[in-house]
Chain A
Amino acid sequence: MSYVAHVLIYFEIYFVVALSLNLVVGYCGMLTLAHASYYAVGGYTYALLSAVLGWTFVPALVAAVLVGSVLSLALSLPSWRLKGDFFVLGSLAVQAVLFGVFSNWSDGRAALGSWRNLTNGPNGISNIPKPELFGRTLTEPVQFIWLASAVAVLVALIVWRLTSSPWARVLVAMRDDELAARSVGKNTRLAKVQVLAISIALVAIAGATYAAYVGYIDPSAASLDESILMLSMVLVGGAGNFRGPAVGAFTLVLIPELLRFLRLPNAQVGSLRLAIYGLLLVIIVHFRPQGLCGRYRLK
């Protein structure tokens, strides 16, 4: 039961990640490789506030959302001028800089959370307190699943409301022809700032939930591999609608669990899992550009 709950929690966290990334990739057609670094921004903000300052789950989560939204400007302002490969490169630069900050903003002699040791470097932050809700500490996966489910449902509702609004149609118009959207008076620059702030705020929620569940976060959460995994979820499941990210997250969370039955050494299972993700990306691009059940067809 505990194992099933653990897999479900991971699915729910990655479902939130895929939904948030879908807003940028599926609705705006912008490929970003910086999503994992913002996921880690959420995780680190939550970890610092709860482990160092003793904040409870909800205020720390709100703070993670705010920090993520502000830092989204690092990606949204360059997006005013950058398209296609250039935007991917800009996002790669943001990813590398944030990863560098998480890995290096540390000093073994200073206390964690101080100005000189904000992230604890490659060692990461451990002993993050388990969240407490209604007077109960959620220590077991079967308890935490209620919180993860509530977060996933809340994010899904927000995304559903947003994507069925006229605002989403502006995003789609901008994706299909930015010049045409601007020529009919749509402020595409503002739309980009808004969509990236919302998307990054949502992925910060996922990062904070992950940190709260695992009780530990390190710079590997912000790695490029993690960004590629997130992008794979959206592209494999399909972008531009609601079902795609859910199917993508489910598929890519399920694969490593199925590989356990092969009884291979852990290192080989990890490599095999990534190789399958890579192969899926190639197959999807060649044979099903809209993903398993997406709406936006990668040209």
Chain B
Amino acid sequence: MDDLIRRAMQVFLNGLISGLAIALMALAFQLVYLPTRVFFVGIAGLYTVAPYAYLAIHTSCGNVILSSIGSLLIVSLLAVLFEWINHGPLFQKGASDGAHLISSLGMYIVVVEGVAIIWGNSSQTLRTGVDFTVQALGVVLTKSQLLIASVAVVALAAFVGMLQMTNLGLRLRALSANPTQFALYGYNVKRYRLFAFGLAGLLTAATSLVAAFDVDFNPHLGLPAMLLAVVAVISGGRSSFVGPVLGGLLIGVLRAEVVWYVSSRWQDAVTFAVLALFVVFRPQGLLGGRSGLELRAI
């Protein structure tokens, strides 16, 4: 019986830690979606670039911290560039959601295939040597899992602190709630949009880097990561910054349970079946209000 409980705990903790990574990515997605209403597929391209940027810097300087900071900055700047050359001009033209989505898809393809042309399609790794493990109460955690958990918790806490305690956070929430009124109060919407994209890039790069320290990476891992983030956003609720975090944790735990009780092969199918159920039966998500979404669904 003890063994059974310990196994259940292990599966739950594994799920919770991968859920933290999903939550961080979902928060990055939501950071763009909520203030700008852009369905930011390009975030998958940013996810792809991060470990390659790290690798390129690390090859020349050999320093882990410098390479990590460099990678975070490069990805953040790339996110700002996405807004500056693509979504910003479309926003000025009053383009539809569909136009943003398609152009974002195009940008994603260009970035990912650019990475594939430069670095190739084969898998690479940032990990060096074998992970040490920590054992407590019969549950085993690897160094990579601890890294993911600590980075995600620190980043989530810093983000919530920024959102709730600073003027910048207040303005970001105001932009998310009503962009038109925000502009009428005299705030520079363009600047805050750029900030939202840059911050989303930072969180995406952090998620991608910790994942790359855990498992191998290749240019095509960005889209699955983004899709998981989208499922987390939909299931948690699209109208707040808390919903995606809750959704990410739930999806992480669910996926771990599917691996344990069914098979890893069915992870994605079950995840997207959950997405389908939410989209059809509860499009506002777990924490979302009904009004905003029902207006969009006839």
Contact = CB atoms under 8 A, between A and B. Distances in A.
Interface of A: 29, 31, 78, 81-86, 88-90, 92-94, 96-97, 99-101, 103-104, 178-179, 224, 228, 231, 235, 267-268, 271-272, 274-275, 277-282, 285-286, 289, 298-299
Contact of B269 (A88, A104, A281): A104
B87 to A, nearest CB: 11
Contacts of A99: 268-269
B147 interface: no
B266 A100 contact: yes
B113 A89 contact: no
A282 B107 contact: yes
A96 B110 CA distance: 23
25 contacts: A31-B102, A78-B280, A82-B283, A84-B97, A84-B98, A89-B275, A92-B230, A93-B273, A96-B227, A97-B269, A97-B272, A100-B268, A104-B269, A231-B102, A267-B116, A267-B120, A268-B117, A271-B117, A274-B113, A278-B110, A280-B106, A281-B102, A281-B103, A282-B86, A285-B95
A130 to B, nearest CB: 32
Contact of B99 (A100, A224, A298): A298
B96 interface: yes
Interface of B: 39, 86, 89-90, 94-99, 101-103, 105-110, 112-114, 116-117, 120-121, 223, 227, 230, 234, 263, 265-266, 268-269, 271-273, 275-276, 279-280, 283, 293, 296-298
Nearest to B281: A81
A97 B297 contact: no
A90 B230 CA distance: 12
A133 to B, nearest CB: 37
B240 to A, nearest CB: 17
Q: Which of A89, A99, A228 has the most CB of B within 10 A?
A: A89
Contact of B297 (A81, A271, A274): A81
Nearest to B293: A86
A82 B103 contact: no
Contacts of A277: 106, 109
